[in-house]
Chain A
Amino acid sequence: MARAVAVPKRAPTTQPLPRPGTMAPVLRGLLWAGIAFVVFNALTLAVDPSTQSPYMSEPSATVAWLAAMFAWLLGIGGYEAVARPLFGSAATWREAPGWRRYFGYSTEHKTIGLQYMLMSAGGFLVAGMVAMAMRYELMTPYLTIFGTSSNYLNAVGIHGSIMMFSVATVFMVGGLGNYFVPLMIGANRTLFPKLSGLSVWLVPVGILTIAMSPLLGVWTTGWRGYQPLAGSDPGGIIYYYLGVFALTLSSFMVALNLTATIIYERAPGLTWNRLPMFVWGILTVSLLNIIWLPEIQITFLLNLFERLVPFNFFNAYGSPAMYMDLFWLFGHPEVYIVVVPALAIWNEILPVMGKKSLFARPVAVLGLVFVMLLSGLVWAHHMFTNVRYTEQLPFSFFTEMISIPTGFAYLAALGTIWRSHLRITTPTLLVLMSMFNFLIGGLTGLFLADVPVNLQIHNTFFVVGHFHYTIIGGMVFSSFAALFYWLPKFSGRMFSELWGKVGAIWIFVAFNATFMNFFVLGLRGMNRWVGVYPAYLANENLITSIAAFVLGAGFLFNAAHLAWAWYRGRKAGENPWGAHTLEWQTASPAPATNFAEPPLVAAGFYTYGDDAPDVLWSRPAVQPSTFD
């Protein structure tokens, strides 16, 4: 694969540069959003004056936010790229060259993927810092930095909402999915690039809306938004609803785009039977998203209108239990949306690192599919303490059953590494750590699925430990594994094995030291949503907080290492791991046009061994990378 021609570091762009004096897209978006916000706020107040304040009311804040969201999307490039062509003008949007293109509207799937990943990482940073503040508060049984208990509860809600809706469901699907699905199926684009380009800019809207929501009033419900408390909470909760609406809208667009791309843009020879594991993960997750995101969106809008109009759907005159059903109908599939791509990543990376064919691949795929199918049948296990006795048994049954297909990912992974030739690289280490952590998360789920036990540990820190083990242990560790694994593909450079392993061990030890305590705290009687707690729990909380600070530092360390390696790491070849999947059969870093001609797939990607067939009919000359 030697390069025949030396190429300049920056190839000349074929489009003219934007005219000087054109405002940077992000600034223009902010300006337009600001103007729209003020104008529509005033208009709403003119039509519907408020008795409480001349400057803002809940309806005016809602209308102003909607106008600002549209204005933001127009300002960052949607006006030239989407709105004007919609009405017939020619598309005049020009992407800036170089690093500037990440700060504006883009239709290129790799740019969008990186934008999603960076914004998601920003959400992780914001919500992570909130978590550090929460753990600082919990070091003592009395209130310290938060001042009031409500402030602490608002932090809990912001932490949970931003983590769930902008990190857990976005990083692997919107980020890694947008970047790698076309590459892995041999396509050069996704099917709806314009929609995709808009969707990514909803993520900062959502994160900032939720993060700034306390400005409208401190809300205390936590990320679940239970009624009737939400109805009596101060006004900030409407920006929780709207922020989540923006983030779920973004994820919905991603789901439609990637589903259609996977179905229709596969390269010749890439049959369903040969679909890569990560792509299976993204497909099942996208189908789940398509079904359930509209459900939670209308639920949150009903909650919003319950406040604004007002209605009586979810208070004592209606049915608070109905809110719980509507929330958890989405809420449970949501956690599988979080974890299924992680399970897929394990079986994506382990065959490569072990130089061994993926064991029981059809079973692994069936596992992902059956998890998806069963995920809508278990929601009331979040409500064992308030449903009828007759409902507890069937939901407990399905909860037990869903652990079976979840185990298939382990079946395939363990069978693959058995008698393999396993390179213990940083990605391998992180995948094995993820398997260990998710195992603990899953086994503690066994206790929660048991109704008599659930009656004790529901709404205690045991549950918080369980879902942090499954989400951080499953999704976050797998995301780091994917980042290290695919770093050569992103940047053409390799990370440092020493510092990669140091970072992995750092977060693994700190993570377990932090969250293992949560199970004990829950069993000892610590309930959720408390900034103050009885003094007998103080010592354990202190230790947990210190471990949490070490964990936070560990995440920062890993992020810094990745950033350093991206620009200064040792140059890697096109396919340093010797993987068979299509993204590795093109240049690293990936060129602007992924594949000069569609690759003709000849065999599955997970067969290794000395006599494994070549996955492509013929190997095209690898074009030089001009994408920087």
Chain B
Amino acid sequence: MADLLTVFAAWVVLGGVGEWLAVRWINSGPWDSGPYFYVASNLGVVGLHAFNFLLEAAIPIFAFVVVMVLFSAIRYRVRRGERPAQARSQARFNGAFVGVWVVGSVLLNILFWLHPTVSGLESVYAAQLPQNNKGALVVNVAARQWEWIFSYPQYHITQAVNSAGLDVLYLPVNRPVKFVLRSYDPFHPYDKSVDVMHSFWIPAFGVKSDVIPGQTRVLYVEATHITSTETNPMVRVQCAEVCGGGHPYMEANVHVVSSKDFAQWVKQQRQLQG
């Protein structure tokens, strides 16, 4: 009985310390980005909240197993010089323990599926519906080995580049963006569709979508803060699926700006195109 109380107390203490540390982590970072370190989109917030919930739920589970292992290893160990005798208790089953464990693990797993998976996905799916993204800015993203090409068909910009001639992604803040993703090589001499899988990922946006040759995929995201790659390197487009030797270099800078600055940039790009 004393053993059970000690274990319970240790579990509460270790779990408590773990939760305290977890909460500190969760409430750290810009805009409480916590474990995601830098979140600047609507979808990222969904993922972040799911991560936070799971972190807080996993800590008591972790603490329980660790406490049981450490307690048993210390309390029931054979001490130096002691002759290892058979254990006094040879219980081979305990209905309460097994019952609580099995039922508990089933319930916990169903819970984790319902929340945050299903609940989070409902938010993600809702954000992907066209009717919830009226007035979306359309950005055609062509992923080729090893370059991201951004074009803005609504503004007749065929390839957005910065002053160094490198592809760049400019987005207006707080406006839904419709990324149309294709693995497509417009510069290939004879076969534009001969390309490989890539994955469109902006770490600060908390979401990625694979880009598969032969498929056109759509991703609706809304940037929620004005930021850029120069502000925080997590705000960048990074290919997240191995695509050959240039895979680590397949990046593009991102700028999330106010709608006024965005309009100005659009004008600039169209002048560049002539």
A interface residues (Cβ-Cβ under 8 A, vs B): 148-150, 153, 220-222, 226-229, 232-233, 315-317, 319-321, 354-361, 363, 383, 385-386, 389, 392-393, 396-397, 400-401, 403-404, 407, 410-411, 414-415, 417-424, 428, 432, 435-436, 439-440, 443, 446-447, 449-453, 455-456, 458-460, 523-525, 527-536, 578, 607-610, 612
Shortest B144–chain A CB gap in Å is 12
Nearest to A320 among chain B residues (CB) is B212
The answer to whether B248 touches A149, judged by C-beta atoms less than 8 angstroms apart, is yes
A33 CA to B66 CA, complexed, in Å: 52
Tell me whether B65 and A414 are in contact (CB under 8 A). Answer: yes
A608 to B242, Cβ gap below 8 A? no
A580 to chain B, nearest CB (A): 12
Q: How far is A315 from B118 in the complex, measured between Cα atoms in Å? A: 33
Q: Give chain B interface residues in 196-247, CB to chain A under 8 Å.
A: 196-197, 199, 201, 203-204, 206-210, 212-215, 217, 233-234, 236, 238-247
Q: Are A316 and B199 in contact (CB under 8 A)?
A: no
Type the 1/0 row for B119-147, where 1 means its CB is closer than 8 Å to any CB of A.
01101110010000000000000000000
The digit string for B63-99, where 1 denotes a CB below 8 A from any CB of A, is 0011011001100111000001111111111100110
Task: Indicate if the CB atoms of A447 and B51 lie closer than 8 Å.
Answer: yes
Taking a contact as CB atoms under 8 Å apart, the answer to whether A533 and B248 are in contact is: yes
> Chain B, 234-268, contact with A by CB distance < 8 Å: what is the 0/1 string?
10101111111111110100000000000000000
**Neighbouring A residues of B121 by C-beta, 8 Å:** 389, 392-393, 451-452
Docked complex Cα distance between A233 and B196 (Å): 11
| The stretch of B9-17, B36-44, B158-166 that contacts the partner chain | B36-44
B31 contacts A by Cβ under 8 Å: no
Please list the residues of chain B having a beta carbon within 8 angstroms of any beta carbon in chain A: 3, 35-37, 43-44, 46-47, 50-51, 54, 58, 61-62, 65-66, 68-69, 72-73, 76-78, 84-94, 97-98, 101-102, 105-106, 109-110, 112-113, 116-118, 120-121, 123-125, 128, 183, 193-197, 199, 201, 203-204, 206-210, 212-215, 217, 233-234, 236, 238-249, 251
Decide if B210 touches A385 in the complex (CB within 8 Å).
Answer: yes
**Cross-interface CB contact of B248 among A354, A446, A530, cutoff 8 Å:** A530
Which of B109, B118, B207: most chain A Cβ within 10 A? Answer: B109
A-B contact pairs, 9 of them (CB 8 A): A226-B242, A356-B87, A383-B210, A404-B106, A449-B112, A453-B120, A459-B240, A527-B240, A528-B242
Residues of B near A356 (CB, < 8 A) are 86-87, 89-90
Q: How far is it, in angstroms, between the C-alpha of A397 and the C-alpha of B207 when the chains are bound?
A: 20
Partner of B36, one of A359, A396, A456: A456
Q: Does A424 lie within 8 Å of B78, measured CB to CB?
A: yes
Name the one of A354, A403, A530 contacting B87, with C-beta atoms under 8 angstroms.
Answer: A354
Q: A386-B209, A459-B240, A527-B239 are in contact. Are A421 and B78 (CB under 8 A)?
A: yes
Residues of B contacting A535 in the complex (Cβ-Cβ under 8 angstroms): 233
Q: In the assembled complex, which residues on chain B have CB atoms less than 8 Å from the CB atom of A435?
A: 65, 69
Residue among B37, B105, B201, B204 making CB contact with A403, cutoff 8 Å: B105
Closest Cβ of chain B to A134, distance in Å, is 13
Say whether B120 contacts A417, CB under 8 Å. no
Q: Tell whether, in the assembled complex, residue B87 and residue A608 are in contact, meaning their CB atoms are under 8 Å apart.
A: yes
Min distance, Cβ A142 to any Cβ of chain B, angstroms: 10
The complex places the Cα of A523 from the Cα of B201 at a distance, in Å, of: 13
User: What is the CB-to-nearest-CB distance from B191 to chain A, in angstroms, rounded to a whole number?
Assistant: 9
Given contacts A150-B244, A386-B209, A529-B248, contact A357 B90 (CB under 8 A): yes
B93 A229 Cβ-Cβ under 8 A = no
Distance of A355 Cα from B82 Cα, bound (Å) = 14
B77 and A424 form a contact (CB under 8 A): yes
Closest to A229 in B: B196
**Contact status A389-B125, CB under 8 Å:** yes
> A403-B109, A422-B78 are contacts. A447–B72 as well, Cβ < 8 Å?
no
How distant is the Cα of A138 from the Cα of B176 in the complex, in angstroms?
37
Do A360 and B208 touch (CB < 8 A)?
Answer: no
Contact A232 B196, CB 8 Å, known A389-B125, A532-B249: yes
Additional pairs, 17, CB under 8 Å, beyond known A227-B197, A404-B102, A420-B72: A150-B244, A153-B242, A220-B247, A354-B76, A356-B86, A357-B91, A397-B113, A414-B68, A418-B68, A422-B78, A436-B69, A439-B66, A446-B112, A455-B208, A527-B201, A530-B247, A533-B248
How many Å lie between the Cα of A5 and that of B78 in the bound state? 36
Partner of B76, one of A315, A363, A422: A422
A452 & B87 in contact (Cβ 8 Å cutoff): no
Interchain CB contact under 8 A, B214 and A459: no
Across the interface, do A452 and B93 meet the contact criterion of CB distance under 8 Å? no
Pairwise interchain contact A320-B214, C-beta atoms closer than 8 A: yes
> Cβ of A609: which chain B residues have Cβ within 8 Å of it?
86-87, 90
Residues B105 and A407 in contact, CB atoms below 8 Å apart: yes
Residues of B near A436 (CB, < 8 A) are 65-66, 69
Q: Is the CB of B98 within 8 A of A525?
A: no
- The CB with the most chain A CB atoms within 10 A, among B87, B90, B217, is that of B87
Instruction: Please give, as numbers and ranges, the residues of chain B lying within 8 Å of A361 by CB-CB distance.
Output: 92
List the B residue with the shortest CB-CB distance to A405: B105
In the complex the two chains form, what is the Cα distance from A460 to B36 in whole Å? 13
Whole-angstrom distance between the alpha carbons of A361 and B92 in the complex? Answer: 8
Q: A452 and B124: CB pair below 8 A?
A: yes
Q: Which residue of chain B lies nearest to A314 when distances are taken between CB atoms in the complex? A: B213
A534 to B, closest residue via Cβ: B233
Known A232-B196, A523-B37, A532-B248; contact A419-B105, beta-carbon cutoff 8 A: no
B90 touches A456 (CB 8 A): no
Give the complex CA separation of A229 and B35 in angstroms: 33
A232: chain B residues at CB < 8 Å are 194, 196, 244
Contacts of A315 in B (CB 8 A): 194, 213
B245 to A226, Cβ gap below 8 A? no
Which of B77, B93, B113, B124 sits near A396, CB closer than 8 Å? B113
Chain B residue, CB-CB nearest to A356: B87
Q: Say yes or no: A608-B86 contact (C-beta < 8 A), given A232-B196, A316-B214.
A: yes
CB pair A460–B240 under 8 Å, yes or no, is yes
* Interface contact A536-B233, CB-CB below 8 Å: yes
Q: How far is the CA of A528 from the CA of B240 in the complex (A)?
A: 7
In the assembled complex, the Cα of A85 lies from the Cα of B273 at a distance in Å of 78
B238 touches A525 (CB 8 A): yes
Q: Across the interface, which residues of A come within 8 angstroms of B89, CB to CB?
A: 356, 419-420
> Contact partner of A359 among B50, B93, B117, CB < 8 A?
B93
A607 cross-chain contacts in B, Cβ below 8 A: 90, 92
Residues from chain A with a CB closer than 8 A to the CB of B37 are: 523-525
Is the CB–CB distance between A525 and B233 below 8 Å?
Answer: yes
- Given A386-B212, A423-B84: A450 touches B244 (CB 8 Å cut-off): no
Assess whether A421 is in contact with B76, with CB atoms less than 8 Å apart.
yes
Q: Which residues of B contact A460 (CB under 8 A)?
A: 240
**Which residue from chain A places its CB closest to the CB of B37 in the assembled complex?**
A524
Q: Please tell me which one of the listed residues A400, A411, A443, A527 contacts residue B109 in the complex, with CB atoms under 8 A apart.
A: A400
Residues on B with beta carbons closer than 8 Å to the beta carbon of A449: 112, 117
A605 to chain B, nearest CB (A): 13
CB proximity of A505 to chain B, nearest CB, Å: 13
* Docked-complex contact B94 and A415, CB < 8 angstroms: yes
Q: Are B105 and A450 in contact (CB under 8 A)?
A: no
Chain B's closest residue to A221 (CB) is B242
Q: Given contacts A393-B118, A422-B73, A536-B233, are A317 and B214 in contact (CB under 8 A)? A: yes
Q: Which of B76, B116, B194, B236 has the most CB of A within 10 A?
A: B76
Given A386-B212, A410-B65, A452-B73 contact (CB < 8 Å) = no
* Interface pair B86/A355, CB less than 8 Å apart: yes
Give the chain B neighbours of A229 by CB distance below 8 A. Answer: 196-197, 242-244
Chain B residues, CB < 8 A from A610: 86
Chain A contacts for B124, CB-based, 8 A: 451-452, 455
Residue pair B197, A320 in contact (C-beta under 8 Å): yes
